[in-house]
Structure 1
Amino acid sequence: MKVAMGQFAVAREWRQNAATCRSLMRQAHEAGAVLLVLPEAILAADINDPGLAVREAQPLDGPFLTQLRQASQEGALTTIFSMHIPDGPQRAVNAQIALRQGEIIARYDKLHLYDAFAMQESKRVNAGNRVPPLVDVGGMKVGMMTCYDIRFPELARRLTLDGADVLVLPSAWVRGPLKEHHWEVLATARALENTCYLIAVGECGARNIGNSMIVDPLGVIIARAAEEPALVFAELEAQRLASARQRLPVLANRRFARPQLDAEG
């Protein structure tokens, strides 16, 4: 199936970001893609105002998501991204949303909050407590992860054992020493160890690295963007997936049980 990565720098004003998303959705649809993955926290951002994203959070029936739902009505394109949704006084959840034909077909609240490298996402954001659902797209099953989740192999393995063929990772990967190396190593590892496709889409701009990439089930990077805004396409092949899992049957050979979230008991 044909997929697209829409990499851009999130602006301070939600209307500008909505216009960028609608444009990317239109271009992806016109190019024949069935899946478009956008970055993390695309509603509003300002590197000089860390609390802006939560202050500007909107509910699911707010104007930002309403505009994107309307834009998704044409065709069968599935669009996946994350945004902040209010969740109590001066707090929010970082919710990953899947849209198709005007409807929200899946939602996942980010499990692992970015309390690392001198940053503290949990200061303003509440963590999710459920394993993400799988989304059917173009004959493949898609598992949802968000940014910092990639550092926790249990989630990727759980989604794969639940039946995921593709993992998507909307992100806002912050620049820093070795951070681009971490990004590529982790994305490649999660795809290879689970013999699945991984679509990792990063925000670009002054603070974040961009560098969106698609990794195939044998750890080969088949498409990537640089540090500037871009719309990148690739083909995911069911035959490549089946061949990788036949030649490298790590899922069948594993000796450990299926990972379980603490909140599941």
Structure 2
Amino acid sequence: MRIALSQLTTGPDPGSNIGLLREQAHRAADGGARAVVFPEASMACFGTPLAPVAEPLDGPWAGEVRRIAEDTGLVVVAGMFTPAPDGKVANTLLATGPGVEASYDKIHLYDAFGYAESDTVAPGSEVVTIDVDGLRIGLATCYDVRFPELFRAHADAGAVVSLLPASWGAGPGKREQWELLTRARALDATLWLAAVDQADPAASGAPATSKAPTGIGHSAVIGPDGTVRQSLGREPGMLLADLDPDEVTSVRRAVPVLANRRLSAAS
């Protein structure tokens, strides 16, 4: 299956951002993709007050994403914010398109490196997978990449691919951590990992927001053996990748880490 990863820089206005998604989705369709994956916070960048822009899954912004999917014939995965209790929002991935209608609320919140996502965002609790052209695909978001059990849960649910939209926080060593963690998660679960980050705002000519995680770029497709198959730099770009599920079968046969697990009994 061919997928497209659209590395872009979104701003604070959901209306402007949807126009960018529409343009990129048509480009992905022209490239023969069956699905296009956009970063976390595609609706509005971090550093924006989130509660005022949050909308339900049946709201107008999500409706525009569905229209993009209908117009292009693609499955579209994009990060948005939905209302949650106590004035907070959920950091939500919407997945929509032919035969697909699902959403995933980010489970692990980015309370690290001096940033507290949990101040404004409520955590999700459900592992979510979707099926595209007969392939099962797991959904994860950004900071989730530090938690290998989620990606193993994707594999246990039958996934051969995990999608990881992100808006990675910049800082010393953060690119190295991003590259190490994405490769490790592919190896942990012996599946394809498609990680799409927001482009570095500086490389897009956009103003950076002080502590807010607004992306560093370096989106990548990682094979089930942990090798980087394709990657981008800091600037906006699109990556088209063909994912072969038979390779997952082959790697799992050679390195059966999922089958070899020994789980300790609860005390």
TM-score > 0.5 by shorter chain: yes
- How far 1:138 sits from its partner (Å)? 2.4
Tell me, in whole angstroms, the C-alpha distance in 1 between the residues paired with 2:45 and 2:144: 20
Moved more, 71-80 or 245-254: 71-80
**In 2, Cα distance between the equivalents of 1:196 and 1:131?**
16
Q: Structure 1 residue 244 and structure 2 residue 251: aligned? A: yes
**1:75 CA drift (Å):** 5.1
Q: Give 2:64's aligned amino acid.
A: Q
Cα distance in structure 2, aligned partners of 1:156 and 1:31: 28
Deviation at 1:64, TM superposition (A): 1.5
1:199 partner amino acid: A
Map of 1:81 onto structure 2:
78
Mapping for residues 175-190 of structure 1, pairs under 5 Å: 175-190=170-185
Identify if the C-alpha distance between structure 1 residues 164 and 7 changes in structure 2 by more than 3 Å, giving closer, same or farther.
Answer: same
Whether the 8 Å CA contact 2:197–2:219 is kept in 1: the answer is: yes
| Structure 2 partner of 1:4 | 4
Judge conservation of contact 1:112–1:148 (CA < 8 Å) in 2.
Answer: yes
Per-residue CA deviations over 1:221-242 (Å, capped at 9, x if unaligned) read 1111111111110110122222
What pairs up with 1:12-23 in 2 under 5 angstroms? 12-23=12-23
- Equivalents in 2 of 1:142, 1:8: separation in Å? 22
Q: 2:218 aligns to what SS in structure 1?
A: coil
CA distance in 2 between partners of 1:150 and 1:33 (Å): 25
Q: Which runs of 5+ in 1 are unaligned?
A: 261-265
- Assess if the C-alpha contact under 8 Å between 1:113 and 1:148 holds in 2: yes
Equivalent position of 1:229 in the other structure? 236
CA shift, 1:65, in A, is 1.4
Contact 2:7 2:197 in 1 (8 A): yes
CA contact (8 A) 2:106 2:140 kept: yes
1:163 maps to 2:158: yes
- Specify the SS of the correspondent of 1:149: helix
Mean Cα displacement is larger for which, 240-249 or 170-179?
240-249
SS of the aligned residue for 2:90 comes to strand
Secondary structure at the residue paired with 2:15?
A: helix
After superposition, where does 1:89-108 map in structure 2 within 5 Å? 89-101=86-98, 105-108=101-104
Q: Shift of residue 216 of structure 1?
A: 0.4
After TM superposition, list the pairs within 5 Å mapping 1:119-198 onto structure 2: 119-132=115-128, 134-198=129-193
Identity among equivalent positions (%) equals 37
1:93–1:113 Cα change, 3 Å: same
Task: State how far apart, in whole Å, the 2-side matches of 1:55 and 1:164 are.
Answer: 35
Supply the distance in 2 between the matched residues of 1:138 and 1:245 (Cα, whole angstroms).
21
SS of residue in 2 equivalent to 1:250: coil
The structural deviation recorded for 1:153 is 0.9
Q: State the Cα RMSD in Å.
A: 1.8
Structure 2 residues not aligned, in runs of 5+: 202-207, 209-213
State how far apart, in whole Å, the 1-side matches of 2:102 and 2:7 are: 21
CA contact (8 A) 1:69 1:99 kept: yes
Q: 1:97–1:104: 8 Å Cα contact kept in structure 2?
A: no
The aligned residue for residue 112 of structure 2 is: 116
**Count of aligned residue pairs for this structure pair:** 254
Check the 8 A contact 1:213/1:224 in 2, yes or no: yes
Once residues 158 and 123 of structure 1 are traced to their aligned partners in structure 2, the CA distance between those partners, rounded to angstroms, is 27
Q: For 1:179, give the aligned amino acid.
A: K
